[in-house]
Amino acid sequence: MKMLNVSSSPHVRENTSTRNIMMDVCIAMLPTAAYGVVQFGINSLLVIIITVLAAVAAEFLWEKGMKKPITIGDFSAVVTGMILALNMPPEIPLWIPALGAVFAIIIAKQMFGGLGQNWMNPALAGRCFLIISCAKFMNNFTSPAIGFDSTTGATPLAVMKTAWKAGESATANVDLMQLFIGRIPGTIGEVSAIALLVGAAYLLWRKVITWQIPVIYIATVAVFVFIFGEHSVNYVLAQVLSGGLIFGAFFMATDYVSTPITPKGQIIYAIFIGFLTGLFRLFGTGAEGVSYSIIIGNMVSPLIESATIPVAFGREGKKK
């Protein structure tokens, strides 16, 4: 007689775990991390290593001190450290990203209960904290490239914004091929569009993320800057390839915890942060806008999710 195993729900399970997902995200960031190190030199590698170590150490010490289960083995702290590090200028003093990692892990993650209970992306919280508190260092993009000559000074986004506000051609001094390859000033992990897209393709192939949020987000920014900025294809492409848009779209806007889980909610969320990014880039005081847009999107994500939860079968859609 064949014995049947009886157990409580849920009965459908997958082999996917938090650790596996986080490791896949780390692997997907390796191409852009490697390119950043080659582009900017040894300090970039030190920034990545120190930031990751600071994030892991902060999580371990907090959980040890609070007598909570140690969760550093799930690699979520490593992902937070890597994302934060890749958002750093290449020549930044090492204590600054380390401070940002501690803020991200303790203030934005652990104080809200740890992974799954934080209401915003911890790495973005750490970056925004550093932008406010260490603005001088966070806006220094003058590191020379190694192995080839690269433009130093203002980022392409800053160059385009200055020219556009002056009534000049925004893309006159911007080379799209250089943007795509990554031979430009910027943060360690945002400069090479091709390296980022390789990582994004890996995440999509592994089904860690879906295409809806990143594609709709980028498309919304493209439409916004075309309507309210310079009406040219080159300008739109330069806006998409510049700054942290591609990095943010695939690696930060898709965070499981801080984004809506409903399909309609994800569409609304992507359009919302895309609108904010375009607004901040064209009319804000800075040339970027991705980090603050996603943070604000994280804040309204619960509202979007609650408004787009489908009605259960057999239930009335509205109360009479």
pLDDT the model gives residue 317: 54
* Contact by Cβ (8 Å): 242, 296: no
pLDDT the model gives residue 242: 86
Domain residue ranges in the chain:
18-138, 156-307
pLDDT digits 0-9 by tens, 267-315: 999 999 999 999 999 898 877 889 899 999 999 998 998 888 877 655 5
CA 115 and chain centroid, separation: 17
pLDDT digits 0-9 by tens, 239-265: 999 888 999 999 999 988 888 888 999
Give the pLDDT band (50/70/90) at residue 151.
very low
Measure CA of the first residue to CA of the last residue in the chain; give whole Å.
Answer: 55
Asked whether the CA dihedral 200, 204, 208, 213 is positive or negative, the reply is positive
- Of 171 and 299, more confident: 299
pLDDT the model gives residue 14: 55
Give the pLDDT band (50/70/90) at residue 13.
low
Mean pLDDT of the chain: 85
pLDDT digits 0-9 by tens, 88-103: 999 899 999 999 999 9
Q: What is the pTM of this model?
A: 0.87
pLDDT the model gives residue 147: 43
In this structure, the number of other CB atoms found within 10 A of the CB of residue 23 comes to 17
Give the pLDDT band (50/70/90) at residue 320.
very low
pLDDT digits 0-9 by tens, 177-213: 888 988 888 889 988 999 999 999 999 999 999 999 9
**Is 50 exceeded by the pLDDT of residue 125?**
yes
Mean pLDDT for 36-49 is 93
